[in-house]
Amino acid sequence: MQNKGFVKFLAIALTLVCIFYLSFSVVTSYVENKASKMSEEDAEVYLDSLNTNNFYLGYNLKQCRETSIGLGLDLKGGMNVMLEVSVPEVVKTLANHSTDSAFVKSIDEASKQAVESQNDFITLFVKAFKKNAPNGRLAQIFANLQLDGKVTSSSTDSEVEKVLREEVNSAVDNAFVVLRTRIDRFGVVQPNIQKVEGQSGRIIVELPGIKEPERVRKLLQGSANLEFWETYDAPVVTPLLAQLNTALRDG
């Protein structure tokens, strides 16, 4: 009888645990369905508020998604996209957007060849540059402030090529970190983000359960802008605010 009572207790406990975890799937589904009926702007505000505020048993939306049963991309649907860092643009930036005719021509040729070639862009670019500028040196193009301390006027072509590869890989790594940070903020459960082997600059992103593809697309493709604004110290601003306050009071 004691064993029978224990089995009954264990069955009830397991049932309650299952109901507890299933409830997160139900709540998450309810929230996503509700958001799908809103306008894109309203849905964005609604979901962001739930991602930062606890609304169900002390959990926010992101935590509810993480606790709910994960079905994966094949069962739950979602998004599967491939993003690519523009290696030619990275190289142009490293060259401080040089207008050297051989450089510009080599960039264009390498970009066209990269579509069908098995070689990476850097290999194609260096080969094209040597063809277009037989007596030229890569250091003449890349010895600038962008690569200060990494490329000098005496650097060999092989040394410059090595630096270019390192900088491109660094740019891809930075893009990878930015993508993961943005996706984590969005609250996607079990996203798969990985760099494609053998494809320089390409990153594959799998997002299970996504119901707002346009919003995610904007999130992934958006550019971050760093802006600088002129500011004033308090001793400069305070007297002006006092004068304004007096003028408003007397008026």
Task: Please list the residues that pair with 202 across neighbouring strands.
Answer: 84
Q: Which residues contact 107 (CB under 8 A, 6 or more apart)?
A: 88, 91, 92, 125
- Which DSSP letter does residue 95 get? T
Predicted confidence (pLDDT) per residue in 71-106, tens digit:
554 545 567 778 888 899 999 999 989 999 999 999
Q: Which two tokens stand for residue 108?
A: 């264009």
Residue 209 has pLDDT above 70, yes or no: no
| Highest-confidence segment of 7-16, 58-67, 128-137 | 128-137
Q: How far apart are CA 139 and CA 161, in angstroms?
A: 10
Predicted confidence (pLDDT) per residue in 146-183, tens digit:
888 899 989 999 999 999 999 998 888 888 888 888 77
The residue among 198 and 202 whose pLDDT is bigger is 202
| Main-chain dihedrals φ then ψ at residue 202, nearest 5 degrees | -100, 135
Burial class (CB in 10 A: 0-12, 13-18, 19+), 107: buried
What pTM did the predictor assign?
Answer: 0.60
Contact 124, 117 (CB under 8 A): yes
